[in-house]
Amino acid sequence: MRLLVGLGNPGSQYSGNRHNIGFMVMDEIARIHNAAPWRKRFHGEASEAVIDGERVLLLKPLTYMNDSGRSVADAQRFYKVTLDDIVVFHDELDLPPAKLRIKKGGGNAGHNGLRSITAHCTNEYRRVRLGIGHPGDKARVHSYVLSDFAKAELPWVEDLARACADSAGLLAKGNDAEFQNKVHLAMEGRGWSDVTRPGKQS
């Protein structure tokens, strides 16, 4: 069993937030791979799917971002999965919009969802960093991540979620570098090689 986790906050008022891009990717993976209906489990919403022959649990913690680790730890204990089997999708301020990087372990860069998961599960899980850009001023970060994507941003957000979903089988098989490369090529092919940060003049 692989555990794919998307981070975000529950509730319609947060659904379009930059902080919720992890939820958006989980929804697209579930749609593309005909996952079972979402149901309440592990202090979150969970769905099972078979992706390229691999059994996968998709998880959206409903504990609010700061307590995401409680949900992830519950699912990890239930399925007895290792840290190598956990992949967390989250928003990343330090990457330009529409960019993606994957890594294992490392620092949490002030991300409260990652901090909570590390506290509950330790640090060496896999992370898919979904670039949302930085507002340019540290004082604006909180309001920036909790504000909705602008209408002009939605096309690249949807394309990034689709690219992740299309290549999710590579993650399920542990082929992280190939997954990252496939998503990069897909986004480049759709014209997203250089996305301007919101509010920045091109």
Local confidence band at 195 (pLDDT 50, 70, 90 cut-offs): confident
Please determine, for residue 197, whether its predicted confidence score (pLDDT) is greater than 80: no
Written as one string, the DSSP assignment of 148-193 is BPPGGGHHHHHHHHHHHHHTHHHHHTT-HHHHHHHHHHHHHHTT-S
pLDDT tens digits, 57-96 = 999 999 999 999 999 999 999 999 999 999 999 999 999 9
Mean pLDDT of the chain: 94
pLDDT in tens, 14-70: 999 999 999 999 999 999 999 999 999 999 999 999 999 999 999 999 999 999 999
Looking at residue 109, its pLDDT comes to: 72
5 in Cβ contact with 83 (< 8 Å):
no
Q: Which residues are catalytic?
A: 19
Structural domain for 32, as ranges: 2-189
Top pLDDT among 184 and 196 is at 184
Does residue 200 fall inside a structural domain? no
Can you give the pLDDT at residue 18?
97
> How many domains is the chain built from?
1
Confidence at residue 200, expressed as pLDDT on a 0 to 100 scale:
45
Say if residue 199's pLDDT is above 50: no
With respect to residue 201, please indicate whether it lies within any of the assigned structural domains: no
Take residue 140 and report the two structure tokens written for it.
Answer: 């604006």
CATH code of the domain in which 43 resides: 3.40.50.1470
Domain-located, residue 22: yes
